[in-house]
């Protein structure tokens, strides 16, 4: 019974860690140093249909650094039952000609609830992006890792019927992580960007895929 409960918790966290993996996408070549703010709206498919908003602030530093906060949630009947928040930043670490190399680090807090369990999670999202950027357009590749570090479980009566003795509380499963990789592209005009990003998701064993092993997002930025 203990093994069954561990497998159940592991599967739930892996699915949870994959939920709502989206982040602000930026055309560095069209974001000049005088523009300090960027607003973002986005929508897409990532385990479910999701939509979100974000805000970024560019620091006055030698290397371009953008701090950001984001909120996204799954579409559904119950608002705020499945959502994700991110806070962190990204830095353009190197530029040569029109090629830009960027690193992102973000902390995550998210909530997921279904008929079996309500989960609250703290995690991290780290990624690297490399691409070709022009003032009007860009195309880049991204590789990242979304980690569910510690999760609080509150189980429903249905779960307790299926798994007698299952306990609520904080768990730290070492298997709750997903790699994601894909392409992103965009078109820029005046103070605006239109972006699209798509790719695949695989669990950290590089062998197991979720039931929907891809993500697709579109977004819109306003810079000022």
CA distance 14 to 37: 34
Q: pTM of the full predicted structure? A: 0.85
Each residue's pLDDT tens digit, 36-73 = 999 999 999 887 889 999 999 999 999 999 999 999 99
> By the 8 A CB rule, do 219 and 25 touch?
yes
| Position with higher pLDDT, 104 vs 24 | 104
CATH architecture of residue range(s) 2-223? Beta Barrel (2.40)
pLDDT band at 142 (very low <50, low <70, confident <90, very high): very high
Supply the pLDDT for residue 173.
59
5: pLDDT strictly greater than 60: no
Rounded (to 5) percent helix, strand, coil in the chain: 10, 60, 30
Q: Where are the domains of the chain?
A: 2-223
CA distance 13 to 9: 6
Supply the pLDDT for residue 22.
56
Task: Please tell me whether residue 159 adopts helix, strand or coil conformation.
Answer: helix
Mean pLDDT of the chain: 87
């Amino acid at each position: 019974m203990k093994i069954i409960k561990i497998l159940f918790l592991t599967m739930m966290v892996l699915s949870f860690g994959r939920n709502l993996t989206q982040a602000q996408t930026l055309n560095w070549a069209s974001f000049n140093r005088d523009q300090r703010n960027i607003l973002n709206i986005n929508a897409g498919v990532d385990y479910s249909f999701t939509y979100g908003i974000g805000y970024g602030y560019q620091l006055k530093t030698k290397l371009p650094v953008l701090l950001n906060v984001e909120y996204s949630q799954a579409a559904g009947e119950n608002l705020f039952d499945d959502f994700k928040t991110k806070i962190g930043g990204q830095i353009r670490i190197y530029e040569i000609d029109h090629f830009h190399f960027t690193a992102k680090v973000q902390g995550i807090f998210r909530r997921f609830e279904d008929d079996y369990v309500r989960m609250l999670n703290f995690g991290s999202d780290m990624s690297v992006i490399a691409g070709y950027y022009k003032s009007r357009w860009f195309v880049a590749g991204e590789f990242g890792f979304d980690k569910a570090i510690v999760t609080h479980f509150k189980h429903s009566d249905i779960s307790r019927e299926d798994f007698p003795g299952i306990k609520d509380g904080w768990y730290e499963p070492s298997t709750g992580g997903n790699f994601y990789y894909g392409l992103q592209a965009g078109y820029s005009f005046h103070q605006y960007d239109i972006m699209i990003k798509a790719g695949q998701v695989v669990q950290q064993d590089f062998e197991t895929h979720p039931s929907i092993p891809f993500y697709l997002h579109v977004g819109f930025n306003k810079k000022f």
